[in-house]
Structure 1
Amino acid sequence: MVKRDLYLNILIGLILVAVLTILRLFVMEPIRIHNNNMAPILPKNTQVIAFKNTKLTNLDLVAYRHGDKKYIGRIIGMPGQSVVAMDNIVYVNEKILNEPYIADNQTKFLLSHDDDFTTDFRQDKLAKNTYWILNDARDVEDDSRKFGAIDKKDILGELDFRYAPFSDFGFIENDEAKIENGYAD
């Protein structure tokens, strides 16, 4: 009886490991945030899950890879769209993008700096399967302003769920700006 229970426990353990491996490879990827590029919505040391193979839309929070490093950011431009920033205002297809998620960061930055919070850039029509991704902390330019458009194959997934710190456990609220800009599903 003890031998049978041991085999059953080993089998259950192997099945559990197999299921978790499949989920990790094809469904989700855990991401630990190492900077404040997306604060206050995703501050440093937050741990989130990036869901792979989701339908991406404007203003989605995503994890992506550039070179050997992982980054997080917000999709500002989709394939076929043009994105321009002038005088701290971002335009998508020549329409002003309402960005309530950067208001706190922008106010703090402009109190101590004379230059633009969002540096000027111009990205004409994005190619197929490429995205324009920006940080919410625009003074940190480790995003499409530095790397250029990000290929879809380099996007690790959409950030929808926060699992640490435990006080913030749950889904990431990101609908306000999508609704304001007409991007809500």
Structure 2
Amino acid sequence: MSHRAERRPWLRTALGVTALVLFFAGVLVVIAALAFSVKVSGHSMEPTLGDGDRLLVNPFAGDDIHRFDIVETTLGDREIPLVKRVIGMPGDRVRADASGAAPVVRVRPAGSAREYVVDNPTWAGRVGAKTQPCCTPEGTTVQGTTKPGWVTVPEDSYWVVGDNWGGSDDSRTFGFARADHIEARVSFRLQPFGDFGSLEDDVRLVPATP
């Protein structure tokens, strides 16, 4: 019998063990993905995120939140987590004017006297029922004939808004998102598989015109 024939049983065993290891590794990856993921419910983040999208979350990023991050958080007395975009950072001054064809959100970053406008391409096409100006001292919309005013985001909080401006219940409804209520940061879509990959991030601050 040749040496090659003698080695074949060992080769089959090795291949079997390798296939078994890969199978269990795949199962662990699926379990981890489900454990560290959240499913979007509703339309408040359209068109960036759709109802039913499953997102991979980073639950260890609560202390490393940046402007325009998409986060999972609770707001006000609600215990159900929501997925929103961070607009105002701690110490920022923010204001929203929704009287025109599209909402205009102004930001004065903490420690700066310069004024910027948030350029979120999704907002212009998402003007719906929830278009009142902002803000009250709690970061919520103003009612009646009250004019929009500047508000300072508390040091332990964020001002968050949905990409579907006219159809989102966010800080304009429930007030600031407390830092200790930020559950996770979101940057990757798992499902639907056709949209698998990193989330687009084309939101930015542009200098306000005088």
Tell me if TM exceeds 0.5. Answer: yes
Residues 1:181 and 1:96: Cα distance change in structure 2 (over 3 Å): closer
In structure 1, the partner of 2:45 is 38
Within 2, Cα distance between the matches of 1:138 and 1:177? 14
Secondary structure of 1:97's match?
Answer: strand
Check the 8 A contact 2:116/2:206 in 1, yes or no: no
TM-score (norm 1): 0.73
Give the length in aligned residue pairs. 156
- 1:95 aligned to which of 100, 111, 116: 116
Within 2, Cα distance between the matches of 1:83 and 1:64? 20
Within 2, Cα distance between the matches of 1:53 and 1:101? 28
* Structure that is richer in helix per residue: 1
Within 1, Cα distance between the matches of 2:176 and 2:165? 16
In structure 2, the partner of 1:105 is 126
Pick which of 117-126 and 51-60 moved more.
Answer: 117-126
Within 2, Cα distance between the matches of 1:156 and 1:74? 13
The list of structure 1 runs, each at least 4 consecutive aligned residues, that deviate by more than 4 angstroms after superposition, is none
Mapped pair 1:177 → 2:203: yes
Superposition pairs of residues 2-21 of structure 1, within 5 angstroms: none
Check the 8 A contact 1:134/1:145 in 2, yes or no: yes
Check the 8 A contact 1:89/1:118 in 2, yes or no: no
TM-score (norm 2): 0.65
Mapped pair 1:77 → 2:79: no
Check the 8 A contact 1:75/1:132 in 2, yes or no: yes
Mapped pair 1:157 → 2:184: yes
Cα-to-partner distance string for 1:75-107 (whole Å, 9 max, x where unaligned): 11000001101132111114222121323323x
Superposition pairs of residues 110-125 of structure 1, within 5 angstroms: 118-122=131-135, 123=139, 124-125=151-152
- 2:56 aligned to which of 49, 54, 73: 49
Within 1, Cα distance between the matches of 2:179 and 2:92? 15
In structure 2, the partner of 1:60 is 69
RMSD: 2.8
Within 2, Cα distance between the matches of 1:119 and 1:33? 25
The share of aligned pairs that are identical, in percent, is 25
Within 1, Cα distance between the matches of 2:107 and 2:60? 24
In structure 1, the partner of 2:161 is 134
In structure 1, the partner of 2:10 is none
Within 1, Cα distance between the matches of 2:53 and 2:79? 21
Structure 1 counterpart of 2:53, one-letter code: T
Residue segments in structure 1 that go unaligned for 5+ positions in a row: 1-8, 110-114
Deviation at 1:58, TM superposition (A): 1.2
Within 1, Cα distance between the matches of 2:196 and 2:126? 23
